[in-house]
Structure 1
Amino acid sequence: MNWIYPEIKAKGKPDYTTLHAHLLHVGEAARHFAQAMGFDPEIAYIGAILHDIGKASPVFQQRLEAKEKPRFPFRHELASLLFLPCFDEKLHEPLIEMVVAHHKSIKNDPRRKGILDLEEEHEDVFALHAKGWDDWAPKAVALLQACGVPLVAAEAPSLDSAEDAYYRVVAYCEKKVKQRGYAKWRGLLMAADHFASALIDQTSEYVPRTFRAPDLSFYERQHPLYPLSLILTNDPRPHTIVVAPTGAGKTDFLLRRCTGRVFYTLPFQASINAMYQRIRNDLLPSNPELDIRILHGSSKVVVEGGKPVEQVLQPLVGSAVKVLTPHQLAGALFGVNGYEALLLDLQGCDVILDEVHTYTGVSQAIVVRIVELLRKLDCRVHIGTATLPTCLYEELLSLLGSEHTFQVRLPADVLETFNRHTVYKPDPEEIWAIVDQAIARREKVLVVCNRVQYAQEMYVQMREHSPDVDILLLHSRFKRCDRTEKELLLMGMDEQKRPVHRFNTADGPCIVVSTQVVEVSLDISFDLMITDCAPIDALIQRFGRINRKRSEKTIGHYKPVYVLPPPESKNDALPYDLEVLERSYEVLPDGEVLSETT
């Protein structure tokens, strides 16, 4: 395409995207997103074209290449709003909402660069943003025309008209800043701007793939070993709470309950990585263009093997399925930068909150508040866990509404078939004999510690005690690339998901020392566990990594889990409450099968 005024840039190094190109990219994304989100697509397109037109100012162009930081801040979005007179006055309110704060809050911006901040702290704000008006305003209007937006006049506004527009924007913002709520139009513009800025010339290719509900019919599969697969999910109630043992088919069941775009939340990076790969393996063979994404602190590492565009897509709106932590959703609660776009992205979607029992204290409170927020956004909320404290269950059910929630539990006779662990309470000095006997039987041993320091110390002791045995240490403090490599090794797979016959796929004995990161959504099955005492619900989840592979032959066969006594001091009990540990330890059986029905 022939860009007009190609010397006018929207971006500096390394892309030097022309302003004409950037405006069209954002406009295309905004129009598509508006259609999906229930906005007027044409107003969205106009706002997208207007939002950066102020970059045509020579002040901005000079600052793109400036080596020294200018004394006075120039906000291109404010210069853009000087062109409001070019548009029908009925459009001014949504245009202001889209443009004025798409980078900075209008007031109390952390760097004091919002429009009202500038008005408080600087003189002649308008004069700087209109500098050289007669020279550059006609070029800006020509760009607007080239992008195909309807203008009320073909000429650039006069300087007086631009000044009047600026102060009308100031007055509008002074009124709005006193009101509660959030700017939906701002969220739409920010979503489109971030998308187009990340994908640049590939925007046209990827925009049509966004906001598509996935075909989840793959998960309609049934098998008698997975009793949840035999339960119909077409209950008309929008929300779900399912409590069932590990291996009962919760993941498939929760996904079958979804009817729209899906946000799948899990608590730990390792479990998120595993779920992301699982869903990709399940769905992409029949739909290779399905937009499946992952989002956590190290998610770029996970998609490193893919195209570069896959990395920049991860935090953007519009995915068919996104696997993430609840803390990524918590940004909408706390109003972090870009929260408006996140709220719009979530609106009306299916949100799965898996393994909610693992959250404690502040994290648990945040999850409860997230459920409140999701209800207000008309989301369908699906909660799944192996165990859930009664008080938390009742609070979540109250938030969702019992009349709106499909509650699922397996009957007692089915739960009994999931009994697979014999619990023992050994003295700490006995664990070395237990390990020796397991190694002699060529078994896989999993040792779980409550704190990273304890895991590191135990790993050293295990190395010294069993120097000829393959041993792995896994916890949350490894560097991103090392953590990803260790998770693959724990699974016993290479990067192509082929067995490497180590740890989970080992043919002989091995030892893994880990922290709580091993508790959820890692599809591993070891023969024996030695674990620090933890709250009863966390212990049950940990036990799910032992004797996990369920078959007709394994039903009725039990494998041992050894739970060590709680420490004596409150500090040593952290991150858990000592009283909770003592009570959990007290109710555990010793030398008996742990029943799933109790």
Structure 2
Amino acid sequence: MGKKILAKSSKYGEETLIQHTQNALQVFESLKNAYPEVVEICNEEKFYEYLFTAIFLHDFGKAAEGFQRMLKEGKPWGYRHEIISAGFISCLSYPDDVRKDIALAIITHHRDLYELQESYSTLTISGKDNYVKRLKELDGNIKYLQYMIGEVPEWSKEYLGYEIRLKQVESIEEIQDVFYFAVREYLNDYEDKKVVKNKRKLFLRGFLTACDHLSSASQEEIIKAISDMEVLFKFDKYKDTQLKAMNTKGSAVLIAPTGYGKTEASLLWSNYNQNKSKGKRVFYVLPYTASINAMYNRLKNSFGDESVALLHGKAFYFLYKEFAKSGEDYFDAVNKAKTKYDLSKKIFKPYKVLTPFQILKYFFSVTGFEQHIGEMAGGLFIVDEVHSYDPHTTALILESLKYLKEEYKAEIFIMSATLPEFLKKLFMKELNIESLIEPNKEEIKAIARHKVSVIGGDVFFNISRIIKDIKEDKKVLIVCNTVDRAQKIYNELKKYTNKSVLLHSRFVLKDRERIENSLNKVQLLVGTQAIEVSLDIDFDILYTEPAPIDALIQRFGRVNRKGIKNASPVYIFSKGSEEDKFVYKNQKVVNTTLELLSNCNILSEDLIQNLVNETYKNGYDDKDYKEFLKARESFKSVISQLYPFIENKHLKEEFYEMFDNREVVPYIFKEEYIDKVKNKEYFEAAGYMVGISQRRYISLKKQGLIENNGYDVDFVYCEYDKDLGLLIGNTYDNIFTP
């Protein structure tokens, strides 16, 4: 076998090529057991045999002397080991189309084809000469690779389940030039739109990358789902909806009131729809960061930290704060958070709590899309609060779920407390869902948590009655539709109690965390839509500006949350502010909501769905419907441009353009932010960031209130108060002066 050949070397130790390959094959074995459906999805009986050979060969190029010197002495090599590794498909006796796919999977397991073609193509004289030169670096270590090839019968029996053999390589002249054999043809076909989209390509690249990454992260196998969900929950008695969910095979829609055990129902459904090995991944999809964090903590407490992953735009920061709060040193906390976050992104943990955008982005060719779409094969998707998205996002969610169901055998569980009839019918028809789960009408008729009143005037017109409730020591919740409005009313009321807080989207992260952690101790909470989602709060009385019925129902849910008190009063003002039309663009829906609620008194749960259906009886208005249809067609176009082995930069840009948000740092924190960045305490620096809309950012920039000093974020010259947040209308007087 000759001298020791390394695959990896770091301050934590060395790993030989044989060790790394066997570790990757160990992950392969667990992935093969978890995803038996892939053979059928690919329509490829020998898929896992092909994947075995790809993983076995994927790092052979690391035996080049230059690569070994780089590991042992730190000297740059200047070449890609994958190019040489892929050439070892000369060991394989499969048909050329299979060998090409395996070669493409190996050569791209770190870089996409265009990047490799640009810097390392062998189709030029200099590129070919460089390739031949690098191949010769294998001469001294070829016996090591020959030894490994001789081990294939034994390793295949152990990891694949049956014996296969590869052709032995006698000399480097037998190694194929993959640029000539596979890359050139694939890129030409891609540019001529002639690539045949078989799923074998996607799964080979995706699962090879997954096995390589997990073994490099010292993981031996992917984790399986909970073996017995029913034992875990230990309910004395299941609700009717939970019994139905836990016995429903295939996709379903669940409509049930808040606090009716929908989460447990959905997880029991996922348990019933698992495969024999409990290998199917479960994706719990929620719309907002706050609700995702809350659900992550809830599932982590139930299933264990090792089984639950967190994915959203600020997940890394949230995980860092978890470790920082436990007293970890800054850099230790960052390293532990990074390890946890990196594993969350891989095919590793069985339960992922995430936003729909964490699913959508991989259809837009974001790096690693083959691995992540592969992970979703046969997946179980729980989509909660599906009513809360705008028409554009709803269309993208619908089309992505439809594609996953039809092409990758996913199953879908849609659930909501307030799902309009037109959306329910749309999702059931398009996703071919036959099972509808609803609670017994008589059972929910007895649940009446709120007494509803629409009162004349706006919040300021009614301020005296709010003050009266505060003075009577009632726990009062006020919800406004805009941040500016919430700030103004909070300023008017905070003097009447020393237990008051304001919550909205324009607080820096560290203040937002502080406020959310204090909510159970306050008597007065003034907020915006930020309080609608998954905050564990319970107030005595609600005052709210007018909004669509589904948004109001979410706000009502923060009062008499558990339903153990008599029906609690919720007041809706008949007037909002002039800015409301920018928040709720369909004011007809808001007006219909007010009209219907004016005729209500005690709001029992059986009435809520009727009110929602009546409000949305005409579905989307013309403008929203056009937006919905446009987004559907757009997604179909995106899918048509998605090809394995190639990262489409145009698609990636299109995805990131969907987000109407800019991170800025208020001027008051400028020095602290810069100090943290200089000390490389980037996550502490992130605590000073606040998000504003793109429209607001452009407006402030035109006023000269945005400064860019070459940092990752800009500084905004508006006043900031720890209790009020960013005060957009209050300009800092000493702008840009020392």
Instruction: Give TM class, smaller chain.
Output: 0.7 to 0.9
SS in 2 for 1:424: strand
**Alignment-derived partner of residue 255 in structure 1:** 267
- How far apart in 2 are the matches of 1:214 and 1:480? 38
One of 354, 373, 376 as aligned partner of 1:343: 373
Deviations 1:463-511 (A, max 9, x none): 3x33x42223333454555544543433x4xxxxxxxxx24xxxxxx22
Using the TM superposition, give the Cα deviation of residue 541 of structure 1 relative to its aligned residue in structure 2, in angstroms: 1.8
Deviations 1:127-166 (A, max 9, x none): 32342432334426615734844542253421xx335554
Q: 1:144 to 1:429 in 2, by over 3 A?
A: farther
Which segment is superposed worse, 16-25 or 131-140? Answer: 16-25
One of 211, 216, 221 as aligned partner of 2:235: 221
Which segment is superposed worse, 127-136 or 569-578? Answer: 569-578
- How far apart in 2 are the matches of 1:16 and 1:457? 61
Equivalent pair of 2:310/2:341 in contact (CA under 8 Å): no
Aligned residue type for 2:340: E
Deviations 1:296-325 (A, max 9, x none): 122234444466543332111142222111
Using the TM superposition, give the Cα deviation of residue 279 of structure 1 relative to its aligned residue in structure 2, in angstroms: 1.8
- How far apart in 1 are the matches of 2:141 and 2:492? 72
SS in 2 for 1:546: coil
- How far apart in 1 are the matches of 2:206 and 2:83? 18
Pairwise CA RMSD: 3.5
Deviations 1:305-355 (A, max 9, x none): 466543332111142222111111112332322222222212222210011
- How far apart in 1 are the matches of 2:550 and 2:378? 31
**Alignment-derived partner of residue 495 in structure 1:** none
- How far apart in 2 are the matches of 1:381 and 1:248? 20
**Alignment-derived partner of residue 35 in structure 2:** 37
Q: 1:64 to 1:331 in 2, by over 3 A?
A: farther
- How far apart in 2 are the matches of 1:30 and 1:144? 22
SS in 2 for 1:5: coil
One of 357, 362, 366 as aligned partner of 2:387: 357
**Alignment-derived partner of residue 689 in structure 2:** none
- How far apart in 2 are the matches of 1:431 and 1:215? 53
Aligned residue type for 1:342: H
Equivalent pair of 1:75/1:129 in contact (CA under 8 Å): no
Equivalent pair of 2:113/2:183 in contact (CA under 8 Å): no
Alignment of 1:4-403 (within 5 A): 5=4, 8=6, 10=8, 21-38=19-36, 40-58=47-65, 74-90=79-95, 92-107=99-114, 113-115=115-117, 119=121, 124-139=126-141, 142-143=144-145, 145-146=147-148, 148-149=151-152, 151-158=166-173, 161-162=174-175, 164-174=177-187, 177=190, 178-181=194-197, 183-197=202-216, 199=217, 202-204=218-220, 207=221, 209-212=222-225, 214-217=227-230, 218-219=232-233, 221-223=235-237, 228-229=241-242, 231-258=243-270, 259=272, 260=274, 261=280, 262-284=282-304, 291-304=307-320, 305=322, 309-376=339-406, 377-401=408-432
One of 515, 521, 524 as aligned partner of 2:534: 521
One of 574, 577, 582 as aligned partner of 2:586: 577
Equivalent pair of 1:422/1:592 in contact (CA under 8 Å): yes
Using the TM superposition, give the Cα deviation of residue 267 of structure 1 relative to its aligned residue in structure 2, in angstroms: 0.8
Q: 1:318 to 1:562 in 2, by over 3 A?
A: same
Aligned residue type for 2:423: L
- How far apart in 1 are the matches of 2:266 and 2:71? 49
SS in 2 for 1:423: strand
- Of all paired residues, the percent bearing the same amino acid is 28
Which segment is superposed worse, 22-31 or 142-151? Answer: 142-151
- How far apart in 2 are the matches of 1:486 and 1:196? 41
Using the TM superposition, give the Cα deviation of residue 594 of structure 1 relative to its aligned residue in structure 2, in angstroms: 2.8
- How far apart in 1 are the matches of 2:66 and 2:580? 59
Using the TM superposition, give the Cα deviation of residue 409 of structure 1 relative to its aligned residue in structure 2, in angstroms: 2.1
**Alignment-derived partner of residue 562 in structure 2:** 549
Deviations 1:527-578 (A, max 9, x none): 1222232211121122111111134xx3xx2112222345464775325433
Which segment is superposed worse, 558-567 or 306-315? Answer: 306-315
- How far apart in 2 are the matches of 1:274 and 1:417? 29
- How far apart in 2 are the matches of 1:433 and 1:15? 70
Using the TM superposition, give the Cα deviation of residue 63 of structure 1 relative to its aligned residue in structure 2, in angstroms: 7.2
Aligned residue type for 1:80: S
- How far apart in 1 are the matches of 2:227 and 2:353? 14
- How far apart in 1 are the matches of 2:311 and 2:394? 20
Alignment of 1:428-443 (within 5 A): 428-443=459-474
The answer to whether the aligner puts 1:537 opposite 2:544 as a matched pair is no
Using the TM superposition, give the Cα deviation of residue 391 of structure 1 relative to its aligned residue in structure 2, in angstroms: 1.7
Equivalent pair of 2:27/2:219 in contact (CA under 8 Å): yes
SS in 1 for 2:175: helix
Equivalent pair of 2:86/2:104 in contact (CA under 8 Å): no
Alignment of 1:483-494 (within 5 A): 483-490=512-519, 492=520
Equivalent pair of 1:443/1:528 in contact (CA under 8 Å): yes
Q: 1:394 to 1:591 in 2, by over 3 A?
A: closer
Using the TM superposition, give the Cα deviation of residue 168 of structure 1 relative to its aligned residue in structure 2, in angstroms: 0.9
Q: Which runs of 5+ in 2 are unaligned?
A: 40-46, 153-164, 275-279, 324-335, 611-738
Q: 1:398 to 1:15 in 2, by over 3 A?
A: farther
**Alignment-derived partner of residue 412 in structure 1:** 441
Q: 1:372 to 1:254 in 2, by over 3 A?
A: same
Which segment is superposed worse, 243-252 or 588-597? Answer: 588-597
Q: 1:572 to 1:69 in 2, by over 3 A?
A: farther
Equivalent pair of 1:374/1:381 in contact (CA under 8 Å): no
Using the TM superposition, give the Cα deviation of residue 99 of structure 1 relative to its aligned residue in structure 2, in angstroms: 0.9
Q: TM-score, normalised by structure 1?
A: 0.81
Using the TM superposition, give the Cα deviation of residue 396 of structure 1 relative to its aligned residue in structure 2, in angstroms: 0.2
Using the TM superposition, give the Cα deviation of residue 41 of structure 1 relative to its aligned residue in structure 2, in angstroms: 4.3
Alignment of 1:436-455 (within 5 A): 436-455=467-486
- How far apart in 1 are the matches of 2:301 and 2:13? 34
Q: 1:219 to 1:544 in 2, by over 3 A?
A: same
Deviations 1:1-59 (A, max 9, x none): x99635x5546788776655544433332332233223654543331232233344455
Which segment is superposed worse, 260-269 or 521-530? Answer: 521-530
Q: TM-score, normalised by structure 2?
A: 0.67
Q: 1:519 to 1:223 in 2, by over 3 A?
A: farther
- How far apart in 2 are the matches of 1:368 and 1:16? 47
- How far apart in 2 are the matches of 1:378 and 1:86? 34
Which segment is superposed worse, 242-251 or 21-30? Answer: 21-30
